[in-house]
Amino acid sequence: MRFAKLRLSIRQLSSYVLAIFLGVVLSFSTLRVLPSEAEPAPKLTTENPPELLAQRPAPATAAIGSSSFVTAAVNRVGPAVVRIDTERTITRRNDPFLEDPFFRQFFGDGFSQQPSREQLRGLGSGFILDKSGLVLTNAHVVDKADRVTVRLKDGRTFDGKVQGIDEVTDLAVVKINAGNDLPVAPLGSSSNVQVGDWAIAVGNPLGFDNTVTLGIVSTLKRSSAQVGITDKRLEFIQTDAAINPGNSGGPLLNGAGEVIGINTAIRADAMGIGFAIPIDKAKAIAAQLQRDGKVAHPYLGVQMVTLTSELAKQNNTDPNSSIQLPEVNGVLVMRVIPNSPAASAGIRRGDVIVQIDGQAVSTAEQLQNVVENSRLGQVLQVKVQRGNQTQQLSVRTAELQNAS
């Protein structure tokens, strides 16, 4: 009996030992399957610093690195940005007082002065369009200049010949003869530009060569009338990148280093507001200037302002108003230029244009764009509100001869 109990105790002990052995084996097997959890942590030394997640650079910082996207953009375009120096000689008339015979009898003929000549110098920017030496800049940079000098970033200097000027869009093309060894600025597309995009202005502001400023695109399609340049037909890219005198004609770049505009204008009464001509418009004008030396712009011959029904009501309720206006939204004709297409068609001062060539118009900018995009000699159907009556008039466009 005791022997049987002893054998049972030995069997139970053996089972316990076997279970413990199997558990230890399985544990070591599991550790070998998951070595990353079983290996000891590495020792921290100066040769093997820890890569903590919080210490890793953010994606944007890692992408910029030690050289920013601005540096890359300027390196791409900078060699093609030029400085343009101009010289112009003007003649000043004598003082009429000294030419009066009554006074000359007292002072003598020797006191009479010859007309004085004065030399004016100007400064602007531009950029090279192709390896043949075409340079794009603003018209006001080279207009009426007797001599144009183009200086490259590498120090080379060339005499420039103005191939064409368009005052209406303030663009000009200058040609330099430098062989085919010229850097060329890559052109982007202004149609892809969005508000908030990076804007990099490159040029020679105030004579400080090769200056770069950074900002963003503040807004698009800012009309020249809103900017205060009423003699131009443009829709500007507005930017807060610093633009100063001397920047005119230089490129406005996007973050990829492509030209999206030509720096053109600033507001003297504001800070952080500059304006650039969209490159898509500039490319079309530059091609015409290179081919023909000028650009033909159609016109109607009216001075106009945007009219709303609210403004018309305010005018009509004013007892001092000299004219009663139709209470509609449209374009009010303030003046009709004599011998113009509008005058020949019978458009009158006080008419409100509400439709042109089948398109409803409610702003002066809309009307101007339709005319600008028409052909010379094209007959446009103009619908006007004249008092309580509606008139349908046919106006044949003619070429604008003088921007001013």
- What pLDDT is stored for residue 3 in this prediction? 45
Q: Which residue has the higher pLDDT, 138 or 11?
A: 138
Catalytic residue from among 140, 166, 190, 351: 140
The CATH architecture assigned to 298-399 reads Roll (2.30)
Joined together, the tokens standing for residue 89 give 């000689």
For the stretch 217-222, contacts whose Cβ atoms lie closer than 8 Å and that sit 24 or more positions apart, written own/partner, are 217/193, 218/273, 219/195, 220/193, 220/194, 220/195, 222/275
| Closest residue by Cα to residue 174 from 296, 293, 295 | 293
**Cβ partners under 8 Å of residue 185, min gap 6:** 77, 80, 81, 127, 128, 129, 251, 259
Joined together, the tokens standing for residue 47 give 């040769």
Q: Are 173 and 161 in contact (CB under 8 A)?
A: no
Q: Are 84 and 148 in contact (CB under 8 A)?
A: yes
What pLDDT band is residue 223 in, cutting at 50, 70 and 90? confident
- What pLDDT is stored for residue 165 in this prediction? 95
Catalytic residue from among 125, 224, 248, 374: 248
Q: Taking the domain 190-292, which CATH number applies?
A: 2.40.10.10
Q: Taking the domain 78-175, which CATH number applies?
A: 2.40.10.10
Q: Is pLDDT at 104 greater than 70 in this prediction?
A: no
Fold match, 78-175 / 298-399: no
What is the value of pTM for the model shown?
Answer: 0.74
- Clarify whether 248 is annotated catalytic: yes
What pLDDT band is residue 57 in, cutting at 50, 70 and 90? very low
Query: What phi and psi, each to the nearest 5 degrees, are found at residue 6?
Result: -65, -40
Helices (H), 34-164: 35-38, 59-64, 69-77, 96-99, 101-107, 139-142
Length of the chain: 404
Catalytic residue from among 85, 166, 170, 351: 170
What pLDDT band is residue 224 in, cutting at 50, 70 and 90? confident
At 150-164, the pLDDT tens digits run 999 999 999 999 999
At 231-288, the pLDDT tens digits run 788 899 999 999 888 899 999 999 999 999 999 977 767 678 899 999 999 999 999 9
CA distance 147 to 232: 25
Compute the average pLDDT of residues 189-211. 93
Measured in whole angstroms, the distance separating CA 355 from the mean position of its chain's CA atoms is 30
Domain boundaries, the chain: 78-175, 190-292, 298-399
CA distance 367 to 357: 10
Compute the average pLDDT of residues 372-393. 94
Q: Is pLDDT at 355 greater than 60 in this prediction?
A: yes
What pLDDT band is residue 322 in, cutting at 50, 70 and 90? confident
Q: Are 283 and 169 in contact (CB under 8 A)?
A: no
Q: Is pLDDT at 9 greater than 60 in this prediction?
A: no
Joined together, the tokens standing for residue 385 give 């509100």
Amino acid occupying residue 38: A
